[in-house]
Amino acid sequence: MDNTSPAEGYTWNLRVRHLHDGASTVYARNNAFTVGPPASFRDTDPNPSAVEYLLGALGADLTNGFSAAARELGIQIDALELALSGRLANPLVVLGVIGEGGEPHFVEFRGILYVSADAGEDTLQEIWRTTLERSPLANTLKHSALISIRILNFEF
Distance CA 109, CA 123 (A): 24
Domains in the chain, start-ordered, CATH in brackets? 48-153 (3.30.300.20)
Rounded mean pLDDT of the chain?
Answer: 94
Which pLDDT tens digit goes with each residue over 17-41?
Answer: 999 888 999 999 999 999 999 999 9
The backbone torsions φ and ψ at residue 119, rounded to the nearest 5 degrees and listed phi first, read -150, 150
The ranges of the chain with pLDDT < 50 are 156
* Cβ atoms of 141 and 62 closer than 8 Å: no
Distance CA 116, CA 140 (A): 28
